[in-house]
Amino acid sequence: MPDIATPLVAWQRQHGRHALPWQGTRDPYRVWLSEIMLQQTQVSTVLGYYERFLQRFPDVAALAAAPQDDVLTLWAGLGYYSRARHLHRCAQQVVAQHGGAFPRSAQALQDLPGIGRSTAAAIAAFCWDERVPILDGNVKRVLTRVLAFEGDLAETRVERALWAQAQDLLPTQAADMPAYTQGLMDLGATLCSQRQPRCADCPLHAHCRARAEDRTAEFPRKTRKLKRSRVALTWLWLRRADGAHWLLPRPARGVWAGLWSLPECADAADAQAAVQGWTGTATPGETFTHVLTHRDMVITPWQFRFTGEAPSVEQLQQRWPGGRWLAPAELDAVGLPAPLSRLLRR
């Protein structure tokens, strides 16, 4: 194993990122919150959400005590909403089973909802200097290039082998773990990019076999690709004369789980049939595409604006259980899918 820890720690302390709001703390709540938010999400996007979360939920007890709707509302727009639900469940479990204190080892942290091996290692390294490796997407790219790691990471046994080598690369001094862990994150986010790595500026330049062999584009290797899907969706957008929108909570599983949304119809004809006999004006909206990580949502909003009295809440709830009218001023109080939030506020 090459000694990458020494140059990486030195580089991080001099040239790495140090001004992010979750750095410079040993508070596991803040470190955990940032690590969950940063999964599959860019730092620039997370910054505002992180600050707002801490203002509303300053500690794990405050988060655990909050209604899930409040958590999802603050999370709205950040995507991957299962993270928010796991975040809430994790906080509740820390309070109920651990007296409000996070377990102090990576192994024990993995027993909590939403905390995988790499996230647990990051928390343990930053908060308690534990010698455990992280292996998120950026770090896999860095290490497979340094090692010219030939295995296909789609295979479990191969990824297990990379974990073992990542363990062997750790610094010998536990006190170096925060800088080493942050250094790997910084390299993957800044210099060791997927398409145009800045090898000449990299502190691991002399140790990187992929660079020496001019093969950086080959790593990491992963043959299994997730297939994209395309989903057509018709939203029935009911509006009262006073501007209120009829919204209902989405199912607990699936896309936008637990958020508030418009009723869904099979198509425009189904939407027309749903409002048959009501007094109002129907306006088919322009179809647009909302891109998620693994699927494209092709959405057509079909607006019906009541010109007379709308059906009672009880009547509407018979068709759409759990629904309620929300005035425009109330939209900030509930979690909305990003495309719907833009639509209603436009």
Are residues 202 and 255 both part of a single domain?
no
Residue 223 lies in a domain: no
Number of domains in the chain: 2
Per DSSP, the three-state class of 270 is helix
Are residues 120 and 165 both part of a single domain?
yes
Q: Which DSSP symbol is given to 284?
A: E
**Is 35 labeled as catalytic in the residue annotation?**
yes
Residue 139 lies in a domain: yes
Are residues 109 and 244 both part of a single domain?
no
Residue 149 lies in a domain: yes
Q: What is the pLDDT of residue 293?
A: 78
Q: Shortest CA distance to 23 belongs to which of 204, 211, 179? A: 179
pTM as predicted = 0.84
Report the C-alpha gap between 35 and 83 in whole angstroms.
11
Specify which residues 230 forms β-bridges with: 296
Catalytic residue among 35, 155, 213, 218: 35
Are residues 121 and 193 both part of a single domain?
yes
Q: Shortest CA distance to 222 belongs to which of 166, 146, 162? A: 162
Residue 314, both tokens: 């009880």
Per-residue pLDDT of the chain (346 residues; tens, 9 = 90+): 899 999 999 999 999 999 999 998 999 999 999 999 999 889 999 999 999 999 999 999 999 999 999 999 999 888 888 999 999 999 999 999 999 999 999 999 999 999 999 999 999 999 999 999 999 999 999 999 999 999 999 999 999 999 999 999 999 999 999 999 999 999 999 999 999 999 999 999 999 999 999 999 999 998 876 678 999 999 999 999 999 999 999 988 888 988 999 999 999 999 999 999 999 999 999 999 999 878 899 999 999 999 989 999 999 999 999 999 999 999 988 999 999 999 998 8
CATH number at residue 272: 3.90.79.10
CB 201 within 8 A of CB 191: yes
Q: Considering 165, 198, 218, which residue would you say is the last residue of a domain?
A: 218
Residue 208 lies in a domain: yes
Q: Which residue stretches of 38-105 are H helix?
A: 43-56, 60-65, 68-75, 82-98
Domain extent at residue 329: 229-345
Report the C-alpha gap between 174 and 102 in whole angstroms.
20
Residue 111 lies in a domain: yes
Are residues 142 and 258 both part of a single domain?
no
Q: Considering 218, 245, 269, which residue would you say is the last residue of a domain?
A: 218
CATH number at residue 205: 1.10.340.30
Q: Considering 163, 191, 218, which residue would you say is the last residue of a domain?
A: 218
Q: What is the pLDDT of residue 226?
A: 66
Are residues 165 and 243 both part of a single domain?
no
Q: What is the pLDDT of residue 254?
A: 86
Report the C-alpha gap between 199 and 202 in whole angstroms.
5
Are residues 114 and 254 both part of a single domain?
no
Are residues 211 and 249 both part of a single domain?
no
Residue 249 lies in a domain: yes
Are residues 115 and 201 both part of a single domain?
yes
Are residues 154 and 236 both part of a single domain?
no
Report the C-alpha gap between 249 and 258 in whole angstroms.
6
Residue 224 lies in a domain: no
CB 149 within 8 A of CB 219: yes
Residue 152 lies in a domain: yes
Are residues 162 and 305 both part of a single domain?
no
Q: How many residues does the chain have?
A: 346
Are residues 75 and 143 both part of a single domain?
yes
